Amino acid sequence: VNRVLRQAEDERRTTLAELITQRNRTDSLVRGLDEGLLLIDQHGVIVLANPVACLLLGQPAKELLDQPAATVAQRNEMLREWLSALTAPTAEAKPADPVEAGRPTGPVFLVRPHGENLHYQLTVSEVTELNEELKKAVPAGHVFCLRDVSAFKNLDQVKSEFLATISHELKTPLASINLSLMLMQDERVDAARRQEIAGGIRSETQRLLGMVGQLIEVSRLDAGKEIRLNLAPVPLPEVVRYATDIVRAQLTDKALRLAVHLAEPLPCALADVEKTTWVLINLLSNAIRYSPHGAALTIRAVPWGEMVQVSVEDEGPGIAKEHHQRIFQRFGGVVGPAGQARGSSG
């Protein structure tokens, strides 16, 4: 009998040790999650709050655990908003949109735990447990999961800014082409002037085609396709001449002065001539857009080791150092300080 009792005690201790180990492992996983996690049992009592949830709620775990959620919510506005999701109507399921793949759904809350604007999306799931007497799962509470979706919100914002910018950029040459066509229909305009107007229309059309081409390339990237480069020796003086001709009308509109400094001799560069031209036109267009009226712009091209360095300098506000990491961000852009003029290069 003693041997049976000792064996039963050993098994109990082993089982208890395994349970403690499993609980500690689960606790470590929950504490290490990047998402906020809050568990409220069927009696409305908070039984779990990981560090992220505590940070978002602005209260330590000791003030939350084993407390009725409704009582804590009386003095915690954020928790009141989370609990309101329990009574909010559930949206009907929609067909999956591949563009929105990976984007979470649910109400979004703006929080500032460290003075920084962060957006967290809330999902609430019911927790069930097996009732031995009823032989079925019964409600055991709710788990509140909060995922940081700041990246999605930022992407939405910069996409909106990008669309607003490209809409304006498309409108400008279209308006110029429309005005030029109206002048062409005026019988009082002589042949020489018509030729000049036709050249302007051709320039604005090429500018439009360039922007449309860039949009196509962006869509290829979104679809996961690689951009193909057609590499060949490129005479950079011709690329610079073509790019400056495209933006000539924009320079005139703002009375900007453009200086071109090309090293002599300037070797050919192995590049994709079309995309190199797009990049240079884009740099020039940005320089023109942010330059004050009557300012000076400079294009430089000099040998740089086995390469050629091409730069565009302007007298616009430039980009603050803290925003440099956004320069190559898709759809990215920053707002410069108003009225502050200093040299910048692209």
> In the chain, what are the domain boundaries?
13-88+104-148, 151-228, 229-346
DSSP summary character for residue 31: H
Whether pLDDT at 43 is above 50: yes
Indicate the pairing of strand 118-131 with strand 136-148. Answer: antiparallel
Q: What pLDDT, on the 0 to 100 scale, is given for residue 152?
A: 78
Q: Give the pLDDT confidence of 218-250 residue by residue, as tens digits.
A: 677 666 667 778 899 999 999 999 888 878 878
Interhelix angle 191-222/150-184, nearest 10 degrees = 160
Q: Write down the architecture of domain 229-346 according to CATH.
A: 2-Layer Sandwich (3.30)
Please give the backbone phi and psi of residue 219, each rounded to the nearest 5 degrees, phi first. -65, -35
Fold of 151-228: Helix Hairpins (1.10.287)
Burial 46-69 (b: 16+ CB within 10 A, else e): bbbbbebbbbbbebeeeebeebeb
Give the count of beta carbons closer than 10 Å to the beta carbon of residue 12. 10
Q: In CATH, what class is 13-88+104-148?
A: alpha beta
Q: Is residue 184 a contact partner of residue 152, using CB atoms and an 8 Å limit?
A: no
DSSP-assigned beta bridge partners for residue 231: 272
Q: How far from chain centre, in Å, is Cα 161? A: 11
Higher pLDDT, 5 or 173: 173
Number of H helices, E strands in the chain: 9, 11
Minimal CA–CA distance to 107: which of 141, 83, 126, 72?
A: 83
SS3 98: helix
Among 21-35, 77-91, 210-224, 318-332, top mean pLDDT goes to 77-91
For residues 12-23, give the mean pLDDT.
Answer: 60
pLDDT band per the 50, 70, 90 thresholds, residue 22:
low
Minimal CA–CA distance to 298: which of 262, 254, 245?
A: 262
- pTM for the full predicted model: 0.47
